[in-house]
Structure 1
Amino acid sequence: MWIQNTPLEGRYIRLEPLSMEHVEELQDAVEDGQSWKLWYANVPSPEQMPSYVQKALSKSTDDQVAYVVRSIASGHIVGTTRYYDIKPEHKRASIGYTWYSAAVRRTPVNTEAKLLLMENLFEQCGALSLEFKTHFFNHASRKAIERLGAKLDGVLRSHQILADGSIRDTAVYSILASEWPAVRNHLKAKLTAR
């Protein structure tokens, strides 16, 4: 595999490879904030969590590497994130399927999780670029992606049909390898300011 499925640890969080043993803790995490009720978000409900994890694990080959996000301070799982659409032949991947408990939103958790993922992707794997994709109407996600330093590439119109039958326009952002040093400095400065 181009991207190794190994733990990544920072000061605030630890990214651990996703497993079925994490289901119960993920159910507890998703209860805080009930993000599955947001029509534009693709977040599993507590009842959907076992199948969500199983589906992620079944795709965790060369195309996906999924993690739980564990708070070092509390020891609790506070969300998930993953690499997906991994293209080693093009030295690129996407980062997404990210959701967090309400208690850790707008804290260093997302900044550090993305820093760890990007450090690994650019510095260990030699990626040329990475992508973030989100629903056009998911303004909180779009702002979070922009705060990381990603740039909007464009909007894919009528890109996906969602479970409720609505049609999703997808905002696509990227960070290039040439931009990574400045993005890394920006993210580290944000974490130091905390």
Structure 2
Amino acid sequence: MLEIHEITMEYSHIVLRPPTPDDLNGLCSAAADGEIWKNPFTSFPSIEEMSIYLQNMIKHDNSSLPFIIVDKDLKIIVGTTRFFNIDHQNYRVEIGHTWIAKSYRRSSVNTEAKFLMLQYAFEKLHCIAVEIRTDVLNQVSRKAIERIGGKQDGILRNHKIMRNGRIRDTACYSIIKEEWPNVKENLLNKLKK
């Protein structure tokens, strides 16, 4: 049975740690950097919604494990990510709900976060698969998932209704345990650059 516990992980430039009530101002600042709530492909919180978003992160249940992404040097919050849809019986998790402040996009932050989470999922939790989903129209996210080694499993048609009323199709990707050694090597090479 998959055992999930709150943990803190770190790499060269980031720390992934559990959320706390003191994170509200940092989350608001990170979200305002790029106005993440205006992204047409997601349903990320606005500044007004951030308090409830944070409360929900803190009171998560056994089906999710949220993280605050912190710039290790500056000690500022730059985004969030989480494990969710945790399948304890079948050793599967999904990575998602990831958003990063605009000034940290195209940096190593997302790659480092995904590396830490994948490493934890495969090497500590002994998952057989890690899933990552995104809006089928979000080409930037799809390319990022493919760049870290995700293989497309399929498309969930008419999967979600977005804030603006658009009906979203969702692209589903996964990395399976047999692929992890090669994915790990490729990610480590990317992070060395």
**Same fold (TM > 0.5):** yes
Question: Under a length normalisation based on structure 1, what TM-score does the superposition of the two structures give?
Answer: 0.95
**Structure 2 counterpart of 1:15:** 16
**Structure 2 counterpart of 1:5:** 6
Which structure 2 residues correspond to residues 62-101 of structure 1 after superposition, within 5 A?
Answer: 62-101=62-101
**Structure 2 counterpart of 1:142:** 142
- Do structure 1's residue 47 and structure 2's residue 48 form an aligned pair? yes
Give aligned pairs, total: 192
How many percent identity over aligned positions?
39
Q: Which moved further from structure 2: 160-169 or 21-30?
A: 160-169
Partner deviation per Cα, 1:40-79 (whole Å, 9 max, x = no partner)? 2121111111111112333x22100000000112211100
| 1:164 match: secondary structure | coil
Letter in 2 for 1:7: T
**Structure 2 counterpart of 1:103:** 103
| 2:158 match: secondary structure | strand
- How many Å apart are 1:20 and its aligned residue? 2.0
Partner deviation per Cα, 1:116-139 (whole Å, 9 max, x = no partner)? 001111000100001001111111
- How many Å apart are 1:2 and its aligned residue? 1.4
Letter in 1 for 2:139: H
**Structure 2 Cα separation of the partners of residues 171 and 140 of structure 1:** 12
**Structure 1 Cα separation of the partners of residues 30 and 72 of structure 2:** 15
**Structure 2 counterpart of 1:133:** 133
Structure having the higher helix fraction is 1
- Give the gaps of 5 or more residues in structure 1: none
Q: Which moved further from structure 2: 160-169 or 44-53?
A: 160-169
**Structure 1 Cα separation of the partners of residues 183 and 106 of structure 2:** 18
| 2:188 match: secondary structure | helix
- Do structure 1's residue 113 and structure 2's residue 123 form an aligned pair? no
- Do structure 1's residue 172 and structure 2's residue 172 form an aligned pair? yes
| 1:126 match: secondary structure | coil
Which structure 2 residues correspond to residues 174-193 of structure 1 after superposition, within 5 A?
Answer: 174-193=174-193
Question: Under a length normalisation based on structure 2, what TM-score does the superposition of the two structures give?
Answer: 0.96
Letter in 2 for 1:170: T
- How many Å apart are 1:171 and its aligned residue? 0.5
**Structure 1 counterpart of 2:57:** 56
Are the counterparts in 1 of residues 84 and 95 from structure 2 also a CA contact under 8 Å?
Answer: yes
